[in-house]
Structure 1
């Protein structure tokens, strides 16, 4: 391995990371994806990248130097700090020229009907979101030039609530719920790859399709495409009896995310700005590397 290290290191090389790895390999990068399982390692190697199996909850041996780091691993499961992030950064031998962290829009908390851009202060309501805020602050302190992408609900092939919709499970009615946001997984990978090769003018971006909708629209559209009845709609009283505490915590938050900054700063062209087209492609099992 050259003294300068590898081109691209992806920590937490799951569904999004594998798509990003394929893009990096496609332009000639030597790529290493850090994963937890043998199955994930096989997926990483299938796109031409190297893999390293590592338990980020244990002791982390020294990681290779790299010119580009994309951190896509979720935080630790407990507490309000991300100890995984702390261990990974301590094991890094250098601060790369390009650093990208894929975070979550959950750090904004409940914003009601407000339109949310990157100037909005964070207001995490759950321990899960507080861990993300801690992770963002850690990586920004370690690499002030790090670009943080705040992603909402990620959908794509194999990432749709098909079984629930076919089973006729209810969804929270729009009268009781708020706004939802999403990004197709290929667009998220494309956005991450775009900023991983640039030094954009900002270090914080909403990585979304920029088309927030009410919850019913998404589920009703999926039902239509599956040719099954639209899911029944329920109020909060019934939702509290049916849904888990974690699901209720997601339902309790509303945001209308704007993606104007990332589009303007990077020139990225969304492959799926319309979630209906994204759902159709996802049901067909299509992946795309366009848009980068």
Structure 2
């Protein structure tokens, strides 16, 4: 039996699990929150509570090392802490794992600000300090771990439950205007299909950009979402005048176009949602059908 150990089982990993479990895969997913264990089980994922709490009445699986020993495949999604991946720090003997494929989910933020220029996987990272810099260090740590690691640099993730429609409908959405600003994004189902394609065609050491075909300003995407709902475009505010929290402000301080040729050429991927238009339409259709 193929067994996926999902380290930091979140939104993207759950999408991959939904593809693999019907094919007979066993999926073990870590979570810090005991309250999530029931939901993971309902989705067919075996919960692994880590860090483990010995006082839990229903701890489920808690032995990270034992789970790693059983894994044929590993997906690491956790954010680094101080430049280090928390799971690598907790598993100093990880190089002895028998996994035949390891995926590490990183971010296109490692390329830093390019003033709208194109980047691809050969572009040297130039991250701003902070989270993206930590990702570069964590990427290197995984690639040097001795495991068959593949790095996936994800653009802005959206999908069911992570679309803009609710904010547009409740009137809290704002269009932040900044001239020349461009963002790349990726639908969660396209993330899942790229990961599955990589599992089928392993190439240890490979780095892949995961994004759609059309970088676009965030305000244009919001306007399109409003049009799909039959509502006027949300109010706009210029970036210089917007009162944004630090994380959101750092998002708008960078602009780049990200190429995705490698996932198409090397993995044979045809995007389900090549732009935000197809992706948003599918999200809205699913929400209306629910």
TM range (shorter): 0.7 to 0.9
Q: What is the match of residue 14 of structure 1?
A: 10
CA distance in 1, matches of 2:275, 2:143: 32
Structure 1 gap segments, 5+ residues each = 287-292
1:54-106 Cα distance to aligned partner (Å, 9 max, x none): 138xx975242121111112222xx3x12514324426451521111111111
1:32 to 28, 35, 38: 28
Are 1:171 and 2:167 matched, yes or no? no
Q: Is the 8 A contact 1:18 1:44 kept in 2?
A: no
1:238 to 211, 230, 241: 241
Are 1:67 and 2:67 matched, yes or no? no
1:227 to 206, 227, 230: 230
Q: Number of paired residues?
A: 276
1:195-217 Cα distance to aligned partner (Å, 9 max, x none): 12322386100011122112222
Q: Is the 8 A contact 1:210 1:260 kept in 2?
A: no
Q: What is the match of residue 290 of structure 1?
A: none
Deviation at 1:46, TM superposition (A): 2.4
Instruction: Map residues 205-216 of structure 1 onto 2, 5 A cutoff.
Output: 205-216=208-219
Question: Higher mean Cα deviation, 196-205 or 24-33?
Answer: 196-205
Deviation at 1:19, TM superposition (A): 1.7
Deviation at 1:160, TM superposition (A): 1.9
1:137 to 135, 140, 145: 140
Deviation at 1:48, TM superposition (A): 2.2
CA distance in 2, matches of 1:62, 1:139: 17
Q: Is the 8 A contact 1:25 1:47 kept in 2?
A: no
Q: What is the match of residue 92 of structure 2?
A: 90
Question: Higher mean Cα deviation, 153-162 or 37-46?
Answer: 37-46
CA distance in 2, matches of 1:258, 1:83: 26
Q: TM-score, normalised by structure 1?
A: 0.86
CA distance in 1, matches of 2:18, 2:37: 14
What RMSD, in angstroms, separates the aligned Cα atoms of the two structures? Answer: 2.5
2:202 to 192, 199, 203: 199
Structure 2 gap segments, 5+ residues each = 53-61
CA distance in 2, matches of 1:63, 1:281: 40
Q: What is the match of residue 161 of structure 1?
A: 164
Q: Is the 8 A contact 1:75 1:84 kept in 2?
A: yes
2:39 to 36, 40, 43: 43
Q: What is the match of residue 146 of structure 1?
A: 149
Inter-CA distance 89–122: structure 2 relative to 1 (3 Å threshold):
farther
Q: What is the match of residue 185 of structure 1?
A: 188
Inter-CA distance 163–24: structure 2 relative to 1 (3 Å threshold):
closer
Q: What is the match of residue 111 of structure 1?
A: 114
Q: Is the 8 A contact 1:168 1:232 kept in 2?
A: no
CA distance in 1, matches of 2:93, 2:159: 33
Q: What is the match of residue 263 of structure 2?
A: 262
CA distance in 2, matches of 1:61, 1:47: 20
SS at match of 1:284: helix
Q: TM-score, normalised by structure 2?
A: 0.86
CA distance in 1, matches of 2:226, 2:274: 20
Inter-CA distance 49–194: structure 2 relative to 1 (3 Å threshold):
same
